[in-house]
Amino acid sequence: MADSVPVRCPTCRRENAFTPPTFPCACGAPLTMPVLRGGVPVEILHRTWQSSWVEVRCEVCGRQDEWPAPESGCACGTVVRVPVVPAPAPPPPNFPSPGRTVPQSAAPWATDTPRAVLRPAFRPVTIRTARDCVTAAEQYLKWLGYADVARTQERTASGVDLRGTGVVAQVDPSTRSTKLREIECVWLNGLNDSAIAVFFSLAGYARDARARADDLHIPLFVMDLTGTPQPVNDPADELIKYGAAGR
């Protein structure tokens, strides 16, 4: 979970706490927008496609890609674009001199360091209805490696929406914060199925629900309207990094 940083509104000069968003890199590692501390936020008056994206490098795999530029809203109504640390220029290729043999220990394939799961970029499902929330969560779990996950024929009293080999998931598409009881219900379902329990919420989580999920090591995700789930706690970050194979 990313630490919040202070962002001063250029209109009313109020200082607001801002938590940088985290996105899943194509390599599977969570990528948190590297907010530039001390940077000057810029009020958004006119949106353009080019200014809505920012180039950031993944610290795990080194991939440099474009991501949605982080934005912060103030109580006065001002919306600002938060500056990020500029992506470094790629280093020049370091080719060995002619006739020189690369030692085996220096070869990139000769390392025993474990690597995060490699997977293609997630293709989000735009959320317009409650059914779209379930569809987005289903596609996301498949992207994480739960290939046979599918929605249940009929939602049970326990609230389970998705089941697959080794996973059960509940999706809360309401506009209220997810409560403690719902977290405990999906956890019990996971125990009954000997599976990992995962929760997706559109409106976030109550404080006690979040704390309980951390205690039970339940991955929590928040859905945005683009259909890309965002990790809320450390278990969610781990699930993104290692996928189904790491559970």
pTM over 0.75? The answer is no
Decide if 166 contacts 141 (C-beta within 8 A).
no
pLDDT at 109: 39
pLDDT at 156: 55
Strands 220-222 and 196-201, bridge-based pairing: parallel
Cβ–Cβ under 8 Å, residues 58 and 70: no
Question: What is the per-residue DSSP string for 92-121?
Answer: PP-PPPTTPPPPGGGSTTS-----PPP-PP
**Residue 113: its pLDDT value, please?**
42
pLDDT for 135 equals 93
| Helices 180-192 and 207-216: angle between axes, nearest 10 degrees | 20
Query: Which stretches of the chain drop beneath a pLDDT of 70?
Result: 1-2, 49, 88-117, 154-159, 246-247
Q: Reduced to 3 states, what is the DSSP secondary structure of residue 214?
A: helix
CA–CA distances in Å: residue 173 to residues 23, 50, 80, 152, 205: 20, 31, 28, 16, 12
d(CA 176, CA 104): 57
Distance CA 93, CA 30 (A): 27
**pLDDT for res 112:** 45
Kindly report, residue by residue over 220-247, the tens digit of the pLDDT: 999 888 888 999 999 999 998 888 776 6
pLDDT for the residue numbered 136? 93
